[in-house]
Amino acid sequence: MNFLRRLHFDLWYLGNPPWDSGVTPPEVFEFIQSHPAGRALDIGCGTGTNVVALVNAGWQAAGFDFSPRAIRIAKRKIKRAGAQAELFTDDATRMKKVKGQFDLALDIGCFHGIPNKADYLNHLKRVLAPNGFWLMYGFLAAADSAAPPSVTPADLKLISEQNLALVSRRDGFDGRERPSAWFLYRKI
Ligand SMILES: C[S@@+](CC[C@H](N)C(=O)[O-])C[C@H]1O[C@@H](n2cnc3c(N)ncnc32)[C@H](O)[C@@H]1O
């Protein structure tokens, strides 16, 4: 299952996947401008656009993705930007290569597609520093379906059972009018 998902994403990166706009969302800038720079981890970082933005804002950033092709592109992007960041392939439900703890875990569009979100959350708790933030963007489940990728009411309940406190939630729609939201959680 995971192998097929990884292959699916890796193939997307042969071309220009629709999410890979090269633009860091304003919600990310808002966060980094209102919090002191520290260590950041971009989970499912894709081609590294947001890792570059974090480094440029003074953060010590790392990013991983389970698509080797995405990571190859991300490494080139970081090099071109003259920035330094740790980039590696890893699986968000294992985070085997993630060392140490982070003040910010950023997730734009990865968590919502994860089949086993409990595994992801267990590792998230491990890699977040005390009081560390998890800034996550995901599609929301439609009222009549919980088909992935989506953050479902059951996922929100699961998150609420972790030692993560909801700081803010901003609902909206993506470019295709799909309901989506930005969530900011803090480890307690
Ligand atoms: C919608 S894309 C968003 C990429 C990037 N965050 C961005 O904003 O451009 C989701 C990313 O999550 C990655 N991904 C999905 N499941 C993953 C997993 N289990 N472990 C690591 N990366 C994963 C995909 O390869 C893809 O790059």
What is the set of domains in the chain, with CATH numbers? Answer: 2-187 (3.40.50.150)
Which pair of structure tokens corresponds to residue 172?
């909206």
> From ligand 1's centre to the CA of 160, what distance in Å?
23
What pLDDT sits at residue 141? 86
pTM score of the predicted model: 0.97
Q: Does the beta carbon of 28 sit less than 6 angstroms from any atom of ligand 1?
A: no
Those residues of the chain that have pLDDT short of 70 are 1, 143-146
What pLDDT sits at residue 175? 78
Nearest atom in ligand 1 to the alpha carbon of residue 110 is: 12
Q: Does the beta carbon of 45 sit less than 6 angstroms from any atom of ligand 1?
A: yes
**Probe target for ligand 1 pocket from 5, 9, 89, with the most ligand atoms within 8 Å of CB:** 9
Tokens 């971009």: give the residue.
Answer: 42
What pLDDT sits at residue 146? 64
Helix (H) or strand (E) segment spanning residue 94: none
Helix (H) or strand (E) segment spanning residue 114: none
Nearest atom in ligand 1 to the alpha carbon of residue 70 is: 27
> From ligand 1's centre to the CA of 70, what distance in Å?
9
Which pair of structure tokens corresponds to residue 123?
């590792």
Q: If you take atom 15 of ligand 1, which residue's CA is the nearest one?
A: 110
Q: Does the beta carbon of 46 sit less than 6 angstroms from any atom of ligand 1?
A: yes
What pLDDT sits at residue 142? 77
Determine contact, residues 142/150, Cβ cutoff 8 Å: yes
What pLDDT sits at residue 35? 98
Nearest atom in ligand 1 to the alpha carbon of residue 25 is: 8
> From ligand 1's centre to the CA of 9, what distance in Å?
8
Among 184, 149, 186, CA closest to 169:
184
Q: Does the beta carbon of 89 sit less than 6 angstroms from any atom of ligand 1?
A: no
